[in-house]
């Protein structure tokens, strides 16, 4: 008996006349996500994606691996392995259902179950309540250790009778939800090595935004291990972001200029402003080239978490931003952010004890209520524009 993976649309099932464009992006993302596993036959019908292994090409691929990968694709609301059943008659469906359940052993250690059914093929002789009743009886006969519990079953068997076949599954797993990456434009993530910015990337990608990243390093004050930490984070984010380009910027010379020319308590907020200026410049270059035009910046800032994330400090950094700055974590607390970091498997990397450039020359008492007039006066004491330009001109790029 053939076994395939079925994935159900999430939010895009509610779309109207433009639904097709969302579907095409979703299918493209699914193909990219599964490309490391092999080549698959992918089709869509009735807000459902069917992923089938191809004999001789991907027939040896473990379906669990396919399910694991597909659960990270934004735009999918549910993912499940299914047995493909011949729907010529209910008797055939019942016989193949028992064979599939015995083969997969999904009921061997369960005590209770129930049957749900959906019948989009109205020519099938039994209606939905009859399918549930009759198939439940067949399963009870084949697995006498089971009993029916319609309220809180250990296993829910779902039989969907569709146009081409009937599909039986015993485990419906939640998908990533959201919108397909690439349907909402491009944005540039300010990626540190910490816990917050990878979570911010995940949350904005979930709304369909294609994300690239910019990372600031300060050798020799930051080590090669710190950069390896960031590239490892990119690897973990890649399944969610589909493709990711990392821009690495050397900010050591500029940080030394800030240290030498600015009052210590203002160093953090001025550094943040310089980072935004560098990101602006990179976005401007992309705009001129016509490739990957970024429509926003993304940060992992959380209100009040550190001195540079007070309302006054955020206002000072936003003052130099040419694009909207998206802050999806702004109202979250650290416990919520850490929970999401664990969910997307970035927490263990983010907590490795390797420094980033934000920890270089950290002031003992950073200004929590900075004034723009003071910042302007301090920035006027050194040629920051040329230093930012120099740093951006020497950007190195890594594609994931």
Q: Tell me which H or E stretch contains 360.
A: none
Return the DSSP state at 263: -
**Contact (Cβ atoms closer than 8 angstroms) between residue 43 and residue 50:** yes
Q: How many CB atoms lie within 10 A of CB 108?
A: 10
Write out the chain's pLDDT in tens, 400 residues. 789 999 999 999 889 889 999 999 999 999 999 998 988 999 998 889 999 998 766 677 889 999 999 999 999 999 999 999 999 999 999 999 999 999 999 999 999 999 999 999 999 999 999 999 999 999 999 999 999 999 999 999 999 999 889 999 998 899 999 999 999 999 999 999 999 999 999 999 999 999 999 999 999 998 899 999 999 999 999 999 998 999 999 999 999 999 999 999 999 999 999 999 999 999 999 888 777 799 999 999 999 888 789 999 999 999 999 999 999 999 999 999 999 999 999 999 999 988 777 777 888 888 889 999 999 999 999 999 999 999 999 999 999 9
Token pair of 385, please?
Answer: 């524009």
Q: Residue 154 has what pLDDT?
A: 96
Residues 6 or more apart from 181 whose CB is under 8 A from it? Answer: 25, 29, 74, 75, 205, 208, 209, 210, 211, 240, 241, 242
Task: Determine the distance from the C-alpha atom of residue 227 to the mean position of all C-alpha atoms in its chain, rounded to a whole number.
Answer: 22
**Contact (Cβ atoms closer than 8 angstroms) between residue 238 and residue 271:** no
**Contact (Cβ atoms closer than 8 angstroms) between residue 230 and residue 246:** yes
Query: In terms of DSSP H, where are the helices of the chain?
Result: 19-34, 63-70, 90-104, 128-142, 196-205, 224-241, 252-261, 267-289, 311-318, 334-343, 347-350, 372-379, 384-393
Nearest to 219 by CA among 382, 354, 379, 386: 354
**Contact (Cβ atoms closer than 8 angstroms) between residue 135 and residue 167:** no
Token pair of 343, please?
Answer: 């969910």
Q: Report CA torsion sign: 286, 288, 293, 298.
A: positive
Q: Residue 56 has what pLDDT?
A: 67
Using alpha carbons only, give the angle 208, 296, 337 rounded to the nearest 5 degrees.
65
Q: Residue 1 has what pLDDT?
A: 73
Query: Three-state SS for 147?
Result: strand
Q: Residue 315 has what pLDDT?
A: 94
- Kind of pairing, strands 3-9 and 48-53? antiparallel
Nearest to 258 by CA among 285, 230, 277: 277
Q: Residue 72 has what pLDDT?
A: 96
Nearest to 357 by CA among 214, 201, 204, 203: 214
Nearest to 66 by CA among 102, 110, 36: 36
Q: Against a cut of 0.95, is the pTM above it?
A: no
Q: Residue 216 has what pLDDT?
A: 96
Q: Residue 62 has what pLDDT?
A: 87
**Contact (Cβ atoms closer than 8 angstroms) between residue 253 and residue 217:** no
Q: Residue 307 has what pLDDT?
A: 78
| Residue carrying the six token digits 């302007």 | 376
Query: Three-state SS for 302?
Result: coil
Q: Residue 91 has what pLDDT?
A: 95
């Amino acid at each position: 008996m053939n076994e395939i993976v079925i994935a159900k649309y999430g939010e895009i099932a509610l779309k109207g006349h433009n639904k097709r464009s969302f579907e095409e992006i979703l299918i493209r993302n699914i193909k990219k996500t599964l490309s490391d596993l092999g080549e698959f036959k992918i089709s869509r019908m009735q807000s459902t994606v069917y992923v089938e292994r191809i004999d001789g090409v991907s027939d040896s691929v473990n379906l669990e691996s396919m399910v694991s990968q597909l659960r990270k694709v934004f735009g999918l609301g549910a993912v499940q392995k299914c047995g493909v059943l011949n729907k010529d008659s209910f008797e055939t469906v019942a016989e193949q259902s028992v064979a599939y359940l015995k083969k997969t052993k999904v009921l061997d250690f369960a005590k209770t179950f129930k049957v749900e059914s959906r019948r989009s093929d109205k020519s099938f002789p039994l209606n939905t309540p009859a399918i549930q009743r009759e198939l439940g009886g067949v399963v009870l006969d084949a697995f006498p250790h089971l009993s029916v519990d319609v309220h809180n079953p250990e296993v829910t068997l779902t039989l969907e009778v569709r146009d081409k076949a009937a599909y039986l599954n015993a485990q419906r797993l939640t998908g990533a939800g959201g919108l397909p990456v690439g349907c909402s434009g491009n944005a540039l993530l300010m990626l540190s090595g910490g816990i917050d910015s990878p979570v911010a990337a995940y949350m904005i990608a979930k709304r369909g935004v294609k994300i690239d990243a910019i990372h600031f390093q300060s050798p020799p004050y930051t080590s090669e291990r710190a950069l390896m930490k960031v590239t490892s984070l990119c690897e973990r984010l890649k399944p969610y972001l589909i493709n990711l380009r990392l821009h690495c910027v050397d900010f050591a010379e500029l940080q030394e200029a800030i240290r030498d020319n600015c009052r210590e308590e203002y160093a953090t907020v001025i550094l943040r402003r310089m980072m935004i200026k560098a990101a602006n410049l990179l976005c401007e270059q992309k705009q001129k080239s016509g490739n990957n035009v970024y429509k926003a910046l993304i940060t992992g800032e959380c209100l009040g978490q550190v001195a540079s994330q007070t309302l006054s400090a955020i206002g000072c950094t936003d003052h130099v931003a040419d694009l909207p700055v998206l802050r999806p974590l702004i109202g979250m607390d650290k416990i919520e952010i850490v929970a999401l970091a664990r969910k997307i498997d970035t927490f263990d990397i983010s907590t490795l004890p390797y420094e980033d450039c934000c920890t270089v020359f950290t002031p003992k008492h950073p200004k929590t209520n900075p004034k723009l007039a003071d910042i302007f006066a301090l920035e006027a004491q050194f040629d920051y524009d040329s230093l930012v330009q120099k740093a951006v001109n020497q950007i190195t790029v890594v594609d994931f």
